Amino acid sequence: MIEFTFWDIVRNLAFATRWTILLSIAAFVGGATVGIAILFARISKAFWPRRLASGYIALFQGTPLLMQLFLMFFGLPMLGFRIEPWTAAVCGLTLYASAYLAEIWRSGVEALPRGQWDAGASLGLHRLQELRLIILPQAFRITRAPTVGFLVQLIKSTALTSILGFEELMRTANAINNATFEPFKVYGLVAAIFFLLCYPLTEYARKLERDAPISR
């Protein structure tokens, strides 16, 4: 058994937390970018874009994230694509996040009264201009709270990327625990770190929910 002082454990976990934060940011930004494209397809007037977007969302919401990460990391090399743990983790979480964010934002678009679309049309705006200037700013404002709430879920979901060999918080904790055989101390600190990361965002989401405008 390797001797680790309490501060050795804290220092190693703090270093790993940086990667958890970076992974969360990369996945959220990537998921938001892809999610916007899925949202546009989901609310399109054309039939096939709507069907493809609905299928995409159903696929990623209806299957376990763990399975998606496995397929990303172990499946792509079988097709001839070499992929590193960091890339697999970011791509897997990006696709997962995009499906949920697109659906969250779609609910905001559909919550707006039809008169908002009619107002844009009366000004001579085409559909993309209506979305950019009128619809999406209001939809994003309505859905800020669930968007931040999903970010909390995404941060916690990064723990699953430890199965890919990515050295984030949970994998580092597993390695320390295997060396020290002190699971209560190690995983207790991990729980505290996740709590410190997520609790402020949870409170912020609650504040946004209280302050959210009510569409009529």
CA separation for the pair 42, 135 (Å, rounded):
14
CA separation for the pair 72, 109 (Å, rounded):
31
Give the per-residue pLDDT at 213.
59
CA separation for the pair 37, 39 (Å, rounded):
5
The CATH architecture annotation of domain 6-211 reads: Orthogonal Bundle (1.10)
CA separation for the pair 115, 7 (Å, rounded):
60
pLDDT averaged over 10-residue windows placed end to end, the chain, 216 residues: 79 94 97 96 93 96 95 87 91 97 94 80 77 87 94 96 90 91 93 96 93 59
Give the per-residue pLDDT at 191.
96
Q: Identify whether the C-beta of residue 145 lies closer than 8 Å to the C-beta of residue 52.
A: no
The rounded mean pLDDT for the chain is: 90
Between 144-157 and 183-211, two packed helices, what is the crossing angle to 10 degrees? 170
Q: Please give the single-letter amino acid code of residue 181.
A: F
